[in-house]
Amino acid sequence: MLRRYVAKRLLVAIPSLLIASMIVFTLPRLIPGDVVQLMLEEKAYAKDIEELRAKLGLNRPIYVQYFEWLGHVTTGNLGESLWTRRPVLEELGRRLPVTLTLGVCAIAFAILIAVPVGVISAARQDTLKDYTARSAAVLGLSVPGFWLATLVIVLPAIWWGWRPATGFTEFSQSPLYYLTQFLLPGVILGVASSAAIMRLTRGMLLEVLRQDYVRTAWAKGLAERVIVLKHSLKNAVIPVVTVLGIQIAQIIGGTVIIEQIFGFPGMGRFLFDAIVQRDYPVIQGVNLIVVSVIVIVNLTVDALYATLDPRIRL
């Protein structure tokens, strides 16, 4: 049953990816000022512009370019950067692990903090612990990640002349440092998600705790820990899992800024530079990967949802 459900969802994902490919191909080309004009900047004359456009293959009709690109994508070729002539896939292969590690750190932090705090907050509703947790969550939602990152970097430098390490160390240089360098940016990136998940966990758990079967459990004299963690939490986290899927998409978006601030050579920064430079194949490649990741995450969430609540498969 679960297999058929996943297969059905996979089929739905194909047109989603196709539509997304059209959008990621077309939208960057609609922004005024193309890559050729940016390459030549103010020093270009009409003849130079046309010659360079022809050299880069940008003088052909857009649908011809699209289908050529799509054909290459189906064979695993995402094209070459118009600026560096380096294969986009090769660049992504180097950068995707950086962004994924950062994203995993952020999600891990968000879950590790949010779920226990949400549970405590719900179990101790309207106590000092609850108020404190909720206030912290509101603060976490309100504070933009880039601002928090800026403070974390600048304030220690002003106060003590010390700055958290920025820049990037490759795994091959120092595996331990490679992992630890993601902690601070991961925490900052995960703060907003953590706050959202905490609030949702608390809300859903409160709802579940008011269900009849929970009241029965209380009446039977079960321990609070058993009631909350064993009988209530599983039902409460179903919507949380769904929201987690949305948060992952947001976190991938957030990496653009955090990678910029911490100097990580990840995919977000690659995309940012590509947009500024109108490097179409890179924009298309990165976005296609991001869309694919989000589709896969949503698929996984749907599958998890179905596992947690078998009624969904029916």
Partner 1 sequence: MNLGRRDLVKLGGLTLAGTALSPSVLWAQTPKRGGALTLRTWDPPHWDHMETGGASYKIHIPMTFTHSRLLKHKAGPGVVPGTFPIEGDLAESWTQPNDTTYVFKLRKGVRWHAKPPVNGRELTADDVVYTVDRFLKVKGNANAYMLDSVTKVEPVDRYTVKFTLKEPFAWFLDMIANPMALAIIAKEVVEKHGDLKKPEAVIGTGPYMLDSYRPNTGITLVRNPNYFLPGLPYIDRVEMVVDEDNASRMAAFLSGKYDLGWEFPGTINRTDWVQIKDSLKQKRPNLKTAEFPANVMSHISMRTDQKPYSDARVRQAISLAIDRQAIIDQPLEGVGVFNPPVPAGLKEWSIPMNQLGEGARYYKAAPAEAKRLLAAAGYPSGFQAPICFTTYGSTLLVDVSQMVLKNLKDVGIDARLDQKEYGAYISTCFNGKFDAMAFGPQTPYLDPDNFLYGQYHAGQLKNQSHINDPVVEDMLVRQRRTFDVAKRREILFEIQKHLAKQQYYVQMPSSVYVAVWEGAVKNYGPNLGYDYGGRLLHAWLDR
Smaller CB separation from partner 1, 11 or 276: 276
Please give the residues from 149 up to 188 whose contact with partner 1 meets the rule CB under 8 A. 149-150, 153-154, 156-158, 161-163, 166-168, 170
Binding-residue pattern over the window 271 to 290 for partner 1, x denoting contact by CB under 8 A? --x--xxx------------
Q: What is the C-alpha to C-alpha distance for residues 219 and 240, in angstroms, rounded to an integer?
A: 28
Q: At 80, phi and psi to the nearest 5?
A: -120, 150
Nearer to partner 1, 38 or 249 (CB): 38
Distance CA 188, CA 151 (A): 11
Alpha-carbon torsion (13, 19, 25, 30), positive or negative: negative
Of 30-38, 61-69, 174-182, 199-207, the window that binds partner 1 (rule: CB under 8 A) is: 30-38
132 counts as binding partner 1 under rule CB under 8 A: no
Rounded to 10°, the helix 233-262/280-308 angle is 160
Closest contact distance (angstroms) between CB of 47 and partner 1 is 10
- Type of residue numbered 199: R
- Judged by beta carbon, residue 69 or residue 270, the one nearer partner 1 is 270
Do 195 and 137 meet the contact criterion of CB atoms below 8 Å apart? yes
Smallest separation, CB 175 to partner 1 (Å) = 17
Residue 52 contacts partner 1 per CB under 8 A:
yes
Choice from 26, 59, 84, 174 touching partner 1 (CB under 8 A): 84
Q: How far is CA 243 from CA 145, 198, 204, 277, in A?
A: 19, 11, 12, 34
Cβ proximity to partner 1, 91 vs 302, nearer residue: 91
Q: Which is nearer to partner 1, 259 or 302 (CB)?
A: 259
Instruction: Give least dist CB 263 to partner 1, A.
Output: 6
167 or 221, CB closer to partner 1?
167
Nearest to 241 by CA among 301, 199, 300: 301
DSSP 313: G
From the list 115-123, 212-220, 236-244, 255-263, the region that binds partner 1 by CB under 8 A is 255-263
At 87, give phi and psi (nearest 5°): -60, 135
Query: Tokens at residue 222, please?
Result: 């079960």
Q: Tell me 232's DSSP state.
A: I
Residues that contact partner 1, how many (by CB under 8 A)? 48
How far is C-alpha 10 from the geometric centre of its chain's CA atoms?
A: 20
Secondary structure class of 39 (helix, strand, coil): helix
Given the rule CB under 8 A, which of 15-23, 36-44, 63-71, 123-131 is the region that contacts partner 1?
36-44
Q: Considering only residues 101-130, where is the footprint of partner 1 by CB under 8 A?
A: none
Non-local CB neighbours of 126 within 8 Å, separated by 6+ positions: none
**Do the Cβ atoms of 282 and 81 come closer than 8 Å?**
yes
User: In this chain, which of 103, 264, 271, 290 binds partner 1, going by CB under 8 A?
Assistant: 264
Considering only 6, 9, 13, 44, the residue that binds partner 1 (CB under 8 A) is 44
Contacts with partner 1, residue ranges (CB under 8 A): 31-34, 37-45, 48, 51-52, 55, 83-86, 94, 149-150, 153-154, 156-158, 161-163, 166-168, 170, 260-265, 269-270, 273, 276-278
